[in-house]
Amino acid sequence: MMNALHSVLAAVGEGRIQGGWEYVKAAYAICWTGLALYAVSLWARRPREEPK
Amino acid sequence: MEMRMRRRLEIAAVLGTLGIFAYAAWTGLVWAPPDREMGDVQRIMYAHVPMVQMMLLSGTINFVCCVVYLFRASWKTDALAEASAETALVFGAIGTTLGAIWGRPTWGVYWAWDPRLTTVAILLVAYAGYMALRRFVDDPERRAVWSAVTGIIIAVDVPIIYFSVKWWKSLHQVQSTPRTVDPQMVYALRWNITAFFLVLIVFLVARYRIALAARLRETTVPEPAPGAQQVVA
């Protein structure tokens, strides 16, 4: 009983969700790739002449 | 000379933004501690929250431009409205995707028809419609007026999104305050908000120039070529 309580409290200290870096990596990869692609699209669409 | 100076300043601004962005990402991914409940998965917050905040900011800029355009028509205001609608769509779509990824390990599902998620989905669909409307109307003046009215109607959703977590207590958590969050997490979040804000400014300026150049091309009557005869109807 005490052992079970101990392990639960220890898990809370480290975060109940163990690991999960694959979600973090996927999220940041999508974020950075999405922003980079949008930046490229803005560069490709840039006006050749400066607006007056 | 002045043109070259401006170009250098722009490159310096972009490089500075990239530097701040890299530092902010480091604070969120490495320096800040893991969350007591969610562990390292909570690090998605440092990208998800600023992205959604920039979506709401872009939506607010779009609303202001739409109102101003109806009272004082200007191609510059119309161009900024177009630019801010597109950035709202881009930041909102990516931010919502990050939220869905965060939802899988914490809620158990990628998506739920929670009030916050539903109102954000409505906003994204509405801005996609707004951008489609701008493509389908050929007359620049009519397009600007119609899209200004549409933008004002869409903006009603912006405060609903913000307050949805307070009005309908549901799956999505309410906004945290610095008093209830570890100071290191607050520091990392503030740097990330600053970084994403600077990225938004760079994108807005670039997209505004594209839109303004297109408006001027559409509305400028070309001068007749030398020696060309004028046809009078």
**What pLDDT, on a 0 to 100 scale, did the predictor assign at position A11?**
56
| A13 has pLDDT over 90 | no
Query: Residue B47: its chain A contacts at CB < 8 A?
Result: 27-28, 31
Taking only the tens place, the pLDDT of each residue in B72-83 is 999 999 999 999
The pLDDT of B125-151, averaged and rounded, is 97
Q: What percent of chain B lies above the pLDDT cut of 90?
A: 85
**pLDDT at res. A12:** 56
Residue range B150-173: average pLDDT?
A: 94
* Interface contact A38, partner B, CB < 8 A: yes
B40/A21 touch (CB, cutoff 8 Å), yes or no: yes
> What gap in Å lies between CA B80 and CA B54, rounded to an integer?
15
Q: Which residues pair with B39 in a beta bridge?
A: B35
The pLDDT > 70 percentage for chain B reads 95
Q: Which residues make Cβ contacts (< 8 Å) with residue A26, sequence separation at least 6?
A: B101
Whether the pLDDT of residue A6 is over 80: the answer is: no
- Under the phi-then-psi rule, with left for phi > 0, alpha for psi from -120 to 50, and beta for the rest, what region is A51? beta
Nearest residue in chain A measured CA to CA from B21: A32
Burial (CB count <10 Å: 0-12, 13-18, 19+), residue B162: middle
Q: Which residues of A touch B94 (CB under 8 A)?
A: 30-31, 34-35
The pLDDT, as a whole number, for residue A5 is 67
How would you classify residue A20: left for phi > 0, otherwise alpha for psi between -120 and 50, otherwise beta? left
Tell me the per-residue pLDDT of A26-46, one tens digit each, with 9 for 90 and over.
999 999 999 999 999 999 999
Domain ranges of chain B: 2-215
Q: Tell me how many residue pairs between chain A and chain B have CB atoms under 8 A apart.
A: 92
- Residue B220 is predicted with a pLDDT of 84
Mean pLDDT rounded to a whole number for chain A: 82
Whether the predicted pLDDT of B150 surpasses 70: yes
Q: What average pLDDT does this structure show over B84-110?
A: 97
Split at pLDDT 50, 70, 90, the class of B233 is very low
How far is the C-alpha of B200 from the C-alpha of B198, rounded, in Å? 5
Q: Say if residue A51's pLDDT is above 60.
A: no
Query: What is the CATH code of the structural domain delimited by B2-215?
Result: 1.20.120
Mean pLDDT, range B129-157, rounded to an integer: 97
Q: What's the mean pLDDT when you consider all of chain B? A: 94
Q: Name the token pair of B184.
A: 């290191």
> Can you tell me the mean pLDDT for B21-43?
95
